[in-house]
Chain A
Amino acid sequence: MRVITPSVELKRQWTARVELARRHPWWFLLFFVWTCDQHDLVDPIKPTPALRPHIKVMSELWHDNPRLVVVKSRQMLMTWTFVALYLWDALFHQGRLIMFQSKREEDAIGDEVSGDGLLGRAKFILSHMPGRQFVIPEYDEAKHKQGRKILFPWNNSTIWAIPQGAAIIRQRTASGILSDESAFQPSAGDAYVAARPCIRGGGRYTALTTADMADGGHTRALYEDTLDQGDYERSGTRTD
């Protein structure tokens, strides 16, 4: 009879989990993503509730449809979910340049300690990832985690936190853009125009937002499919 030691069994299990996570991001959410719930006073750091139907469906939608505009209610765990999905993209694919865009750069960078902001959430997930040595054995926190970026040099991928606007997007060829609360970004329309080559070339673009018109109606037009009607203020600049 063949005896399998626990460590060997554990290693096989993690290797299999990594293999699954490589195939579909939902497995990555299920096995490797822990989040910080600031509302929970007892046990704030916990696995992401990937088994909830809406999170599973959203990961499937994101995986199979590169361009998404998601209009949501508050408190749906969507920011955590999409940050994890784009992190999956950077971890398991070669040559990805992912941009996390928010209204202010501070919001995009956030804070790793409490899992705040977009890049802060990604760093938090990496720091608290169970079995990280099986997923990314090359990862060195001191070297690869920088102020505005997370670098994955072994597969030439980068995640970069950027403020609203077109300037940074226009100069680079991003393979994925997550625009968080895009309806609250006055320059969302300009950023979208700058990202068009990336979108047309097959890159991912996710506009995630609650309803607002601070962007001059751009995100609403994207969502309601009325972009070509030009019935919104494209520059989105608020004037008196």
Chain B
Amino acid sequence: MSVAAPELIDAPVAGPVERKITAPEVIIPANDIDVGLTATLNTNGFVAVTLGMGADPITFTREVVESERRGLPAWRFRKEYLRDWDAQSGAPVFDTEWVERQRKYCCDPVWRYDVEPEIGDDGNPVLWRSSGLPKLKLVPSQGGRLKVFISPDWQPPEIPAGSMSVRVAFAMGIDVGEGVGASDSTIQVFVGSTREQAAVFKDNRIQPAELGRIAACIARWYNDALICPMRKMHGITTLRAMLEVGYTRIWRHHQPGGLIEVAAQDLGWKKGEATDDVLFGRWIDAMQFDRVTLHDLETVQQHSQYIYDDMGRVCHQKLKLLPVTARYQHGDLVVGAAAAYRACMDLPRYRQTTPFTIPADSFEGIRRHADRMDARRAHTEEDW
């Protein structure tokens, strides 16, 4: 039924017609670029309409379509313009080109370190007074688990040699595994300013609490690095272990406004890992636009193992060619790197408030020391 225009209307066009859909119908036919417009009545009562580029040949000329096809990754074009629901299923999250670009920066570690308990002058292990746990220290070791590419006393090249030295800020990401020989527990250290990989630690036999103590030891060595640990599952154990040994420079969701946060519930990354756009999405961007530099070959290789699943989520690829033990170690280094990158980005919000240290042999130092001694003497006399 056409709704005719009255005589006075200056619109010499055919009016609209009735289009009650009862059977599948091709309303605008396809052209050589794409389908046009089709409509089908579903049993659920909805009319399913497919609107392709062929329905609007004025906008979608051959040149425009070709330009878009060239300007997008293949699966993205199929999804955005050809309405392919499964386009990204199985597609790699990290483009081969991005991974290859990082491979050029890969090198052997400059040093290898491992941890061992600190021994006091009396030959006994030094303990933390707060928790009674042994203090750890990093020692050079040939097969050490900590691969170091940049040392904590590294100086940026823009600083003239010999003129002064700066204390470089580092950021650290931790992915926590169960420690039963399956999934890896990983620690990634990045230079805050250049986003360059400084060190990497990996072990799949380490208990979450032990990992926390080692992480605190490494973070202290790296100029009190800001740590962004994963909180899910065993992550909370790792977090508490770090707090037990007095390490509080930990990434948190909300800034507590100048107070030192010691409650574990607000610390660490508590959302998803690979599926969280705010964490992993940023890391994908960083890889795509070359904002990071990776030196560890294994970290770079693990990026190839991430694919999109049927629902468009980021997931690990199940590689049948890999041994079963290797399958469970997929991508943990990547999650650690993503967390470290997140900490890098938030570093300016976590300014370190180190108290000004007065040299002991200065006049002020001697005066303060005398005051302290007086106070102690007075206190002792009162007790007596």
Contacts and interface: CB of A to CB of B under 8 A. Distances in A.
Interface string A146-185: 0000000000000000000000000000000000000000
Given A57-B28, A210-B79, A211-B83, A73 B10 contact: no
B273 interface: yes
Among B20, B46, B47, find the residue whose CB has the most chain A CB atoms closer than 10 A. B46
Interface in A173-217: 199, 205, 207, 210-214, 216-217
Contacts of B52: 72-73
A214 B313 CA distance: 8
B51 A71 contact: yes
A120 B53 CA distance: 26
Given A52-B56, A67-B45, A74 B80 contact: yes
A54 B18 contact: no
A213 B49 contact: no
A129 interface: no
Given A70-B49, A73-B52, A19 B79 contact: no
Interface in A60-90: 60-61, 63-65, 67-78
A22 B242 CA distance: 69
B49 A60 contact: no
Given A211-B84, A213-B312, A225-B43, A60 B16 contact: yes
Contacts of A13: 8-10
B42 interface: yes
Contacts of B83: 71-73, 210-211
A223 B17 CA distance: 24
A11 to B, nearest CB: 11
Contact of B47 (A53, A68, A74, A233): A68
B274 interface: yes
A58 B80 contact: no
Interface string B112-130: 0000000000000000000
A105 B44 CA distance: 28
B322 interface: no
Given A16-B8, A16-B9, A213-B85, A225 B16 contact: no
B50 interface: yes
B348 interface: no
B81 interface: yes
B88 to A, nearest CB: 8
Chain A interface size, as a band, is: 35 or more
B378 interface: no
Contacts of B8: 12-13, 16
B311 A217 contact: yes
A68 B43 CA distance: 13
B80 A210 contact: yes
Contact of A20 (B6, B36, B39, B45): B6
Given A51-B13, A54-B28, A56-B16, A73 B51 contact: yes
Contacts of B5: 20
B27 interface: yes
A57 B19 contact: yes
Interface stretch (A23-31, A95-103, A108-116, A136-144): A23-31
Contacts of B21: 61, 64-65
B82 interface: yes
A180 B34 CA distance: 23
A240 to B, nearest CB: 5
Nearest to A57: B27
A45 interface: no
A227 B44 contact: yes
Contacts of B313: 238
Contacts of B34: 73
A7 interface: no
Interface in B304-320: 310-313
A123 interface: no
B84 A71 contact: no
A164 B59 CA distance: 31
Interface string B1-38: 00101101111010111111100000110000010110
A56 B272 CA distance: 44
Please indicate which of the listed interface residues A17, A20, A73 has the most CB atoms of chain B within 10 Å of its own CB. A73
Given A61-B21, A240-B273, A220 B85 contact: yes
A28 B61 CA distance: 28
Interface of A: 12-13, 16-17, 19-20, 23-24, 26-27, 30-31, 49, 51-54, 56-61, 63-65, 67-78, 199, 205, 207, 210-214, 216-217, 220, 222-225, 227-228, 233, 238-240
25 contacts: A13-B8, A13-B9, A20-B3, A31-B11, A54-B51, A54-B56, A56-B16, A58-B51, A60-B18, A63-B19, A64-B19, A65-B19, A65-B47, A70-B49, A70-B51, A71-B50, A72-B51, A73-B34, A73-B83, A199-B45, A210-B83, A211-B80, A214-B312, A223-B42, A238-B272
Given A31-B11, A199-B45, A213-B310, 6 more contacts: A16-B6, A58-B49, A69-B46, A205-B46, A225-B43, A228-B44
Interface pairs A-B: 4 shortest CB-CB: A54-B55, A225-B42, A72-B51, A60-B19
